Structure 1
């Protein structure tokens, strides 16, 4: 349900989401709108909360092991 096509893609999505969360803190002085947009982008990249992203990583690793 949550798993990506590859571990690399999943980790890159997580790295992008982390970058957007960090950017949200730096964009705070510019206004809540920019900070909120960065957080929404991070939420979309993670396909939900950080726990959803972690479960997706576990499922991706499980599917990868099952195929080999």
Structure 2
């Protein structure tokens, strides 16, 4: 696993890609999966109780943090795709 410092040594003009995905498609899929898990987690509280909040944990993993982290990753993924072109 390379660190940010290692990546900057390899390509000093490359953006920091801590939250980025390999492709925009992968990133959008992770975002949609996280959204479904978050909605299901909060929506099922009345049915299965607090255990459903484990689905919200799954959403956090899919988003690599919170919704803001996912959005930051989206911009990083777009920047990385533009650099590759």
Q: TM-score, normalised by structure 2?
A: 0.75
Q: Distance in 1 between matches of 2:54 and 2:63?
A: 14
Number of residue-to-residue matches in the alignment: 67
Does residue 52 of structure 1 match 2:72?
no
Does residue 12 of structure 1 match 2:29?
yes
Greater relative contact order, per chain length (Cα 8 Å cut-off, separation 6+):
1
Q: Where does structure 1 lack aligned partners over 5 or more consecutive residues?
A: none
User: Which residue of the other structure, out of 23, 41, 60, is the alignment partner of 1:43?
Assistant: 60
Q: Which has the larger radius of gyration?
A: 2
Q: Which has the higher helix share?
A: 1
Extract structure 1 runs of 4+ deviating beyond 3 A: none
Q: Where does structure 2 lack aligned partners over 5 or more consecutive residues?
A: 1-17
Q: Distance in 1 between matches of 2:22 and 2:28?
A: 11
Q: Distance in 2 between matches of 1:14 and 1:61?
A: 14
Q: TM-score, normalised by structure 1?
A: 0.93
